[in-house]
Structure 1
């Protein structure tokens, strides 16, 4: 549970810095995402989730 809360906190920090530092770009990306087909969003989300899982596994087992 500690690892999950740490990862969630880091994700929120990174997202917060993005929205706080580059609000115009964040709005443009949100508009682009709303125009994307569901299948593209689903594929991208699953790929990002898998990449995150691999990175967490590497971080826990290698370091």
Structure 2
């Protein structure tokens, strides 16, 4: 697997971990409020994130020559 993908995954994990470390109360409230959302809304949100990530990856890979 491409090392760039591993680096991107590591960065995502670092950014995701900052929420509970720096702002645990706000993070907990956000998670609890997300748990109340309907499944269809969560699927659309997740799908949007997947598409955005794929577009960003494509843009970076084509502009960096990789």
TM-score by length of 1: 0.90
Structure number with bigger Rg: 2
Give the structure with the larger helix fraction.
Answer: 1
Q: Does 1:15 align with 2:16?
A: yes
Alignment of 1:32-51 (within 5 A): 32-51=33-52
The runs of at least 4 consecutive aligned structure 1 residues that moved more than 6 Å come to: none
Gaps of 5+ in 1: none
Distance, in Å, in 2 between the alignment partners of 1:19 and 1:61 is 34
* Counterpart for residue 25 of structure 1: 26
* Counterpart for residue 6 of structure 1: 7
